[in-house]
Structure 1
Amino acid sequence: MKVLMTGATGFVGRETARALSEAGHQVSPVVRAGDGFRVASIDGYTDWSGAFEGVQAVIHLAARVHRMDDRSADPLAAFRAVNTIGTERLARAAAAAGVLRFVFVSSVKAVGEASPPDGVIDETTVPQPADPYGISKLEAEQALLQVAVDTGMQVVIVRPPLVYGPGVGANFRALVHAVARGWPLPLACVRNRRSLVAVGNLADALRCCVEHPAAAGRTYFVTDGEDAGTAELCQRIGRALGRPARLLPVPVVLLRLAGTLTGRSAAVNRLTGSLVLDSSRIRRELGWQPPQTMDEALAAMVVAECAS
């Protein structure tokens, strides 16, 4: 089928476009410049006229994401303009054009930042987003469900956790480089668990959500199916690099104190806290299985980073 995709040139979008193409689908990218349907931005004013010719499905990846240097006077309004209002406008335009299915890539942040002690987050967990980005994503989910009621267009919501793989940026890439350079990391005392998803696994799940009839109207968490604590993740990265990770036994309470003193509490909480997701629903209902194990995906990422 022909699939319109926003965010097609991004980290997840490139891999998803490849997965769709390999499955025989035609990808119609939404771009700011270059080949595809051009838009200056995605918000409540975007003109989608002519975007959906021959399109049967939409994958909406583009979003305003969290930035450390965000200087918006009203961050929630800025996130809503793109992530909530822009998403709803795109969905209503797609439905009016006769698009059959709309796959929305939301985020675990629409539900929360941490799993309960000795528990997991699944699709029945009551959402409690903790920041403007998460709030805007949850509101977008709610708006899309109303679009589905109003128009009959099939909506699928996918909530990934942290995505990693070749080309990953930000903190995950910095962690890989730290292990590769043998830098000592004060993480040996961290005893947490976090769910992750390799970019290739997420791309394959999005392809499945486009294709499978049973995905209509459903919400799914997508993970690798294996959870790793921060210390274990460093060790796995080290094995992929062929060198041991150097982990120092610094008490977690001191790490959190350092985070408070340096204004980086959120980053330290992500390193030390747990976020465990149950992604069994998509496996059970769609028969989906991740194509890569975590170790295979980490090895592919390390090869790409070393080659760059």
Structure 2
Amino acid sequence: MSLMAGDPNSEAAKTKALALTSGEPAGIGPDIALAAWLRRSELDLPPFYVLGDRASFAARAKILGLSVELADATPEEASAIFGAALPVVATGEPATAPPGQPDDTSANAVLASIRHAVDHVRSGRAGAVVTNPIAKSVLYRAGFRHPGHTEYLAELAADGGSAPQPVMMLWSPALAVVPVTIHLSLREAVARLTSELIVTTARIAVADMKAHFGLARPRLAISGLNPHAGEDGSLGSEDIDIVAPAVEALRKDGIDARGPLPADTMFHAAARKTYDCAICMYHDQALIPIKTIAFEDAVNVTLGLPFIRTSPDHGTAFDIAGTGKANPSSLAAALRLAARMAATRPK
């Protein structure tokens, strides 16, 4: 498996800084943003700025004992400032939550950060959106009505029109996976699975892999839904009735797709060499293997949007927020991948 993207050192990648959201202010988002900036040269990071409350970042740096120069900035100023200070673009929403303890300011701070990041990229002021982890339970208590980040970004992308279908890809150098159904219970995921949804998801994945990952003809491995891909119908008919017709439709489109394949034999090293992306039927079928293989450097990429969005492949980790134990590796991978993908966009 080899998914390559554009050159992160190209002029297109350098032109605009990346917009990094604050994430849940009581989580590790501030920790890894600060740590990533301090290790910017070591981690070979492109310029980025954080969207949020400068006072909250300063407070977290003090708790962590980090000497980080913070500078108020606009998105346009961020690249020039980045070498000497971490640029902070204000959202107008304070964030007062201490590590591990979300408070009433958390939801507004999180959502404002995301909205501003999308606005900056869509208006050409930033190169891509990189999102720090959010705590959905905190947002739900404040009236948030989306299953997660992905669906909220699709609504923002709609801009008053019809929302695009967002597709979640988890990417790493060793494996890339796309779940067809995402934030649903297993019972609901099975109920909603259709041939049309599989085909649409795979087409979006192929289009973005061609556009941003340097693959002229991406190879897809399509998992079955049931154990052993249904064992010729003896373990369920869904693979015959739903998955196989989708694979046939993709092949008729000229897409290199194989399946339905038994999911339990798709992810060992030899199997991974035979495809560029695994299309899986439900959330955990896709995320368990990649988080096992590449927990520290996997990146969440949202495909099908009119802008580039990546994210670390982990949660808020309230238990280690403010302790200095948070690892910025996945955020660094998300920033590097966002810059590479941005380098492929037309100027």
* TM-score (structure 2 length as normaliser): 0.25
Higher relative contact order (CA 8 A, sep 6+): 2
* TM-score (structure 1 length as normaliser): 0.27
